[in-house]
Amino acid sequence: MDHAVSRRFLLQSTALLLASTALSSKALAQDAPAGGRLVVAADSEPKSLNPAIVASNGVFFIASKVIEPLAEASFDGENGLAPRLATHWEGSEDGLSVTFKLREGVKWHDGKPFTSADVAFSALQIWKPLQNLGRIVFANLETVDTPDDHTAIFRFSKPTPLQLVRNALPAVTSVVAKHIFDGTDIAKNPANNQLVGTGPFKLAEYKPGEYYRLERNADYWGEGQPKLNEVIYRVLPDRAAAGSALEAEEIQLAAFSAVPLADLDRISKVPGIKVVTKGYEALTYQLVVEINHRRKELADLKVRQAIAHAIDKKFVVDTIFLRYATASTGPGAKDTPEFYNADVPAYYFALVKANALLDEAGYARGADGKRFALKLLPAPYFNETRQFGDYLRQALAAIGIDAELVNNDAAAHQKAVYTDHAFDLAVAPPVFRGDPAISTTILVQSGIPAGVGFSNQGGYASAELDGVIATAAQTIDAKARTSLYNDFQRLVVEDLPLINVAEWGFITVARDTVLNVANNPRWAVSNWADTALQA
């Protein structure tokens, strides 16, 4: 794995604590104790818990323990995958079909057997037509053949790269039971909240505003799994509450940076608590500046370059993210080495150069030292995106651009940026989901209708970039496809349809008694079958 500088720094700075716990949990991985109740903090209660329909981290955090995908991300597995409901997968030469061998002897929580019919039903009736990400990945899925109970052959109308399907497996292929959803109004089926899955835990109880209780599935297919008897998600909307509850030993784990970055230094010194930065490598969040190219000034590449040169990425990483992040070089995430391309132009922090570029572009400073004014809309979803908005305003002031900050709540921001285009610059935190085709190319691709969130709504259009994206979408050979995405990264950084500033994974804070934490790159949203508690 590629460890960023900031991660190394962190590992060194808390070396003793981390090293000791990492060693002990590795040694115990095989014969971890069974039993116990793990209580974790949850900050939201998704209205639909069905991961087959809503592929989002908020849903996965809870539902991934109950409903499983065909394969899960893995640090050491082949192609970065570990088998779950599928044991083997193979693509055809022409890219028109993918064959999955399914696990035998798996039962749904209601006792019925899991078969290829469930996979075919999930794929055709849910992932492709209903799921937010599946609609993209499985856009060309035509049929799913089921020659026997444990084989599912996905057939596509246009070549679909196996590499994309593979990378998408953990997020988009949560399998639900055909016998529960078939013939019903899927969107309104009560099983969207009363989950029935094949996973290591069953959803036993939900008390709105208080907790979700998951119970051990005694019939789970994994031998000796799960270790835990119960997993409880306690709803703690206040971020200070998660930290206090950890310290008071009322909860044992807080994932997704539920403990604010500013508290990590203090809480890492509390005996019995560990701060873990691993386990989010496949869910990298990227800090980007979205640009509205309809603005005459911003349509000029020199102006965009000037803005890129005016941003001190080191300051952003050190001060806003307290080093729990890495500076970005472009739209590829460093945590996904399969695609990451470091060979792109670099925009180092240089105010003189930035000012010169703006002068060259013809935007000289006025009598008041200002060149032009624009509207800056930071996304409100994270503390860090708001803080970066404040920073960016100052950074732009240093090069004579007068940015007016417009702060909205989530719904208003979504509408202003992605529907009304009422912004000049916006700060966004898109997610890199293991493959650029899932949710990254959409950030710069042209022709996306207004109203589609987390997409190119800045009016940017480049025939060359669109061409590369379209070709890669149907390139079957993984090597050729990867090289196209290398070009994609270079083109984006050269032409700056948006500016990538930093990227970060979340932080898990756990009691030392929790074993096997962060042992895969999507750990917080994986099934926790081997997670255990030291008695």
Partner 1 sequence: MKRAMLLLRRRAISSIPVLLIVVVFTFLLLESASGDAVDAYLVSIGGGDAQLVQSLRQSYGLDQGMATRLWLYFSALLRLDLGWSVAFDRPVLGLILERLPNTLLLMGSATALSFCLGSLLGIFAGARPDSFRDRFLSIGSLLLYAIPGFWLGLVLVIVFAVNLRWLPTSGIETIASGKQGLARAVDIGKHLILPVSALGFIYLALFLRVMRAGMVETWRMDFVLFARSKGLSRLRIVLRHVARNALLPLVTVLGLQSAAMLGGSVVIESVFALPGFGRLAQEAVNGRDAPLPVGIIILRAVSGILVNLGVDIAYAFLHPRVGASEAGA
Give the footprint of partner 1 on this chain (CB under 8 A): 39, 44, 46-48, 54-59, 132-133, 135-136, 187, 205, 208-211, 213, 230, 232, 234-238, 240-241, 244-245, 247-248, 250, 381, 408-416, 419, 431, 439, 448-449, 451-455
Name the minimum Å distance from CB 358 to partner 1.
32
Residue with smaller CB distance to partner 1, 39 or 465: 39
Least distance from C-beta 137 to partner 1, angstroms?
12
Least Cβ distance, residue 45 to partner 1 (angstroms): 8
Q: In the complex, what is the shortest distance from the CB of residue 118 to partner 1, in angstroms, rounded to a whole number? A: 23
Q: Which is nearer to partner 1, 258 or 399 (CB)?
A: 258
Shortest distance, CB of residue 213 to partner 1, whole angstroms?
5
CA dihedral 248, 249, 250, 252 (to 10 degrees): 140
Cα–Cα distance measured from residue 448 to residue 442, given in angstroms and rounded to the nearest whole number:
8
Query: Closest CB to partner 1 among 39 and 374?
Result: 39
Length of the chain: 535
Least distance CB 284 / partner 1 (angstroms): 14
Q: How far is the CB of 252 from partner 1 (least distance, A)?
A: 13
Backbone angles phi, psi at 221, to 5 degrees: -70, -25
The residue ranges of DSSP E strands in 37-150, in sequence order, are 37-42, 71-73, 81-83, 86-91, 97-102, 141-148
Least distance in angstroms from the C-beta of 55 to partner 1? 8
Task: Give the bridge partners for 215, in sequence order.
Answer: 202, 230
Pairwise CA distance, residues 89 & 337, whole Å: 22
Cβ 340 to partner 1, closest distance in Å?
22
Beta carbons of 332 and 341 less than 8 angstroms apart: yes
Tell me the three state secondary structure of residue 409.
coil
Listed residue (165, 64, 167) closest to 434, CA to CA: 167
Packing angle of the helix pair 5-13, 15-27 (nearest 10 deg): 90
CA 75 centroid distance within chain: 16
Cα(291)–Cα(403) distance, rounded to whole angstroms? 13
Distance (Å, rounded) from C-alpha 199 to C-alpha 249?
27
Amino acid at 146: T
Q: How far is the CB of 413 from partner 1 (least distance, A)?
A: 8
Q: Are strands 508-511 and 253-254 parallel, antiparallel or unpaired?
A: antiparallel
Q: How far is the CB of 194 from partner 1 (least distance, A)?
A: 13
**Nearest approach, Cβ of residue 505 and partner 1 (Å):** 16
* Cα 322 versus chain centre, distance: 21
Q: Which is nearer to partner 1, 197 or 430 (CB)?
A: 430
DSSP-assigned beta bridge partners for residue 502: 287, 327
> Rounded to whole angstroms, what are the CA distances from 406 to 304, 342, 386, 424, 453?
20, 34, 10, 11, 18
d(CA 529, CA 522): 13
Query: Which two tokens mark 157?
Result: 């109308």
Other beta carbons within 10 Å of 266: 11
Distance CA 282, CA 434 (A): 6
Q: From the CB of 384, what's the least distance to partner 1, in Å?
A: 16
Radius of gyration (C-alpha) of the chain in whole angstroms: 24
The least distance separating partner 1 from the CB of residue 239, rounded to whole angstroms, comes to: 9
The residue (of 33 and 453) whose beta carbon lies closer to partner 1 is: 453
> Among residues 167, 133, 169, 170, which one has the least CA distance to residue 453?
133
Of the chain, the end-to-end C-alpha distance in Å amounts to 32
In whole angstroms, give the CA distance from residue 229 to residue 33: 11
Selection from 3, 6, 12 nearest residue 320 by Cα: 6
How many angstroms from the chain centroid is the CA of residue 19? 27
The smaller minimum CB distance to partner 1, of residues 400 and 497, is found at 497
| Contact indicator for 120, 152 with CB cutoff of 8 Å | yes
